[in-house]
Amino acid sequence: MSTPDIRDLNRRAVDYSVEIVSHLTPDHLERPTPCAAWTVADLLAHMTVQHRGFAAAARGNGADLDVWKARPLAADPVRDYADAAAEVTAAYDRPDILERIFDLPEFGTGARAPGSMALRAHFIDYVVHGWDIARALDVPYRLADDFVEPALEITGMVPTGGARAASSAFAAELPVTPDATPLDHILAHLGRNPSWPH
């Protein structure tokens, strides 16, 4: 990959998601999201536990399935989300993190990957989930200019067609219009309708 160390990009994507989530109020929790069958509450619970799961994996404890289990939202879900985001970015801040092997059972039984690959997965997840939660809360979302190239490259590594069907991580890819933006391409490749909810 042209940008092997994306810790700073990942931190900024996570921080941006924290900013977006800060707009959440209790009235938002039952709203639909671009993630089929998930409400805002479901999506936020998933986003929160994924940070904690990746943080545990960075510390060498990712094989514990309990760290990946979504839990009911905390009494202050905005603060809890920000705390989880801070936890994962702190866990990535170690000199050997790119070579450290992460246990990632979320991606299949016995799944393991070097930190450099785990960071890519986490980065693209929060580029897309940042958009998901922004759309659900009806707040603006902007893909930073320096996110475009690595996000497109990582997205291009995600299987399509029959190979995609074997994974529950993303819905089937969608077509894009000729005037599609880079963000549109990323979203559509990962099964999102860029014009959601229309």
Mean pLDDT along residues 32-45: 94
Q: How far apart are the C-alpha atoms of 50 and 68, rounded to whole Å?
A: 6
Structure tokens at 3: 């940008």
pLDDT at position 162 is 54
Q: Model confidence over 56-65: pLDDT tens digits? A: 999 999 999 9
Mean pLDDT along residues 32-52: 95
pLDDT at position 198 is 78
Q: How far apart are the C-alpha atoms of 80 and 86, rounded to whole Å?
A: 10
> Which residues does residue 112 pair with via DSSP β-bridges, in sequence order?
103
pLDDT at position 163 is 52
Q: Model confidence over 112-168: pLDDT tens digits? A: 999 999 999 999 999 999 999 999 999 999 999 999 999 999 998 877 765 545 444
- 3-state DSSP percent of the chain in helix, strand and coil, to 5: 55, 5, 40
Q: Which of 48, 43, 91 is nearest to 68 (CA)?
A: 48
> Which residues does residue 102 pair with via DSSP β-bridges, in sequence order?
113
What string of H, E and C letters represents the secondary structure of 13-28? Answer: HHHHHHHHHCCCCHHH
DSSP-H helix ranges across 22-141: 40-58, 77-91, 115-137
Give the percent of the chain with pLDDT over 90: 79
